[in-house]
Each structure stands twice: as C-alpha cells, then as structure tokens.
Amino acid sequence: MNSLNPTLAPNATFVRPQFFYISGLSNLPNAKYYYVFLCFVYVVTILGNSFILFIIYMERSLHTPKYVVVCNLAIVDVCSSTTIIPKLIDTFLFDSHFIKYEACLANMYFVLLFSTMQSLILVVLAYDRFVAICFPLRYHNIITNTSMIVIIAVMWAIAALMAIIPIFLFTRLSFCRSIVINSYFCDYGPAFHLACNDNSPNFIMGTLGTTIFFVAPVTVIGLSYACIIFVLLKIATQERCLKAMKTCTSHLIMVAIFYLPICATYIAALSSTIHPNARIINTSLACVIPPMLNPIIYSLKTEEIMLAIKKKNYIKGTN
C-alpha cells in the first residue's frame, strides 16, 4: 500500500501522505449488505428528522425552549449522518477507498464536531428536565427561548473549537509506513496510531476529549436524574410521580441508545482485544442508529409532538 503513495520517500524525515486508504470491514462475507442497510438507515434518518423539524416549525405550541434544543438535535443528527453515510456508501459500495489527506481531515473534523454536539445536547435536555421537575415554579424564568439559544450557541462554539485541536495535532504527524486506516471513515484514533513520530499529544487529546465530552456528560446526566428521583420521592402521590417521570422517558431512551454502545466499545477495548470488524460494526451503529431513532422516540414518547401530529392531520382532514 505504501508504494501507491508517491510522497513516501525513503529518506524523508517528515512525510505527509497525499491520501489515506479506508479499509472498512475485512474478510466479512456479504459485507456490502451491511452498507446497503446503512443506506436505508440514512434515508429514514433524513425523513424522520425532517419531519420533526417540519412539525416544530409549523406548530406554534412547540416554539418552546425544550423544542429549540430538540430542533438543534434534529439538525445535528442530519449533519452527523450526512458526514458519515454518503461517504461510506461511496467508499465501500463504489470501491472508492482512497481519500485525500485534506478531505480526510475535513471528514475527521465534522465527525468530531457533530458527535460532540450530540453529547452536549443530551446534557442540555437533561438540564431542561432537571429544572422542570426540581424547580417547577421557576422553570419559565430560568428556561427561556433566549437562554436556550445562548446555551446552544456557546456549545456550538466550544464543540467547534475542541474539534479543531485534534485536527491541528494530527497535522504534525508523519506517516512513513502504512496509510491504511482500519475503520469505515477517517477515524481519529486508528489514523493517528499510524504515525511514525511521537503521537502522545494526540493520544492525550483523544483521552481528554473522550473524558470531557462523553464521560463527563454521562456523569452530569446521571447526577441530574439522581436529583430528579430524590425530588420525586418527596411527592406524596404516585400519580404525580409517574406523570413527572413520563416526561423524562424519551430523553432517557435517547441517552441509553447514544451512550451504551460507545461505553460497550471502550470497555471491550480496555478489557480485551476487540476484533476490528466488531469495533467497526459497533461504532458505526453507535453513530448512525441514534440519529435515526431520535425522531421516532420523540414522535411516540412525547405528548406534545403527538398532539401536534394529530392536530395537523385533523386540520388536513377538515380542509
């Protein structure tokens, strides 16, 4: 594979390849059917999230702080899937495994950006539920459309800044041996491990990013629900307790389907040697399934969305 890269000179002290080779699933029978399945996932993701955006835009009762966040989540889900799946289809269904160095960096950046935003938005939704249940009388003073827009804007700025740092560190790496990335896209971890020079800053940044944007959010979400449960236990009637928890179910399901596969992959990698194919399948599903399921969960589990859908169907029917 090295001979295919004209920049790999034997006496070079620093080598920046013109392209990388995305290997994907190796020696797996009928692997193309899996990629076709991801095509189906992408179509459902686009349709589902577009539907949620349309309902929120059309229904004025949904122009609330909570749905400002849900709207942003739908946009991030569409962008995240679009960053990964179309390129994946081109790579593996049309045998276009080579990707230019600059395109690889761009792909890497946007995957980091949107995955970070998905995690942060789940924290904001947990904050919304925390205030709604623990401070119900002050909810409308604390949680406003303006405050949510500011919070989301700050998180976009933080995510954009934190996603650019790994890319900057990546540009200082020299690749004098392999250019084969054992993943389904320009995956930061497998890519920086190919470097010939010191990649410890990349490892530190990867560990720090994982801690800040995945471990810390799970911890914050867990603490927020611990406080919610503590407050709910003080509620005298079981009916009020169940009604309050019902408003949290959609968010809890979204948290589970986003974080559990990621946690399972990291735990498996730390406790034993995980097969590359297993890692690729697990991480790809962890990236593309939550964006597909989020609009379905919000449609089925959120009363406001269901009422808005019924209302629009009723209006259509009477016209």
CATH number at residue 72: 1.20.1070.10
93 band by pLDDT with thresholds 50, 70 and 90: confident
Alpha carbon 85 to its chain centroid, in Å, reads: 13
In a domain, 1, yes or no: no
Mean pLDDT of 55-82: 92
Residue 13 in domain = no
CA gap 266, 262 in Å, rounded = 6
Beta pairing, strands 19-22 & 180-181: parallel
Residue 282 covered by a domain:
yes
Enumerate long-range contacts of 195-201, CB under 8 Å, 24 or more apart. Answer: 196/15, 197/14, 197/172, 197/173, 199/173, 201/169, 201/172
Q: Please write the tens of the pLDDT for every residue from 264-285.
A: 877 776 666 777 788 888 888 8
Specify the pLDDT at position 242: 80
pLDDT of residue 166: 95
This prediction has a pTM of: 0.88
Residue 2 lies in a domain: no
216 in a structural domain: yes
The alpha carbons of the chain give a radius of gyration, in whole angstroms, of: 22
Residue where the block lists tokens 């800053």: 201
Residue 286 lies in a domain: yes
Q: Are 305 and 62 in contact (CB under 8 A)?
A: yes
Domain coverage including residue 184: 18-318
- Cβ atoms < 10 Å from Cβ of 305: 23
d(CA 294, CA 48): 8
Domains in the chain: how many in total?
A: 1
Percent of the chain residues past pLDDT 90, beyond the cut:
54
For 284, other C-beta atoms within 10 Å of its C-beta total 23
Average pLDDT of the chain is 87
In a domain, 96, yes or no: yes
Question: In one letter, which amino acid is 205?
Answer: M
Phi, psi (5° rounding) for residue 80? -60, -50
Question: What pLDDT, in 10s, does the model give residues 199-245?
Answer: 999 999 999 998 998 999 999 999 999 999 888 888 757 777 887 78
> Is residue 294 in a domain?
yes
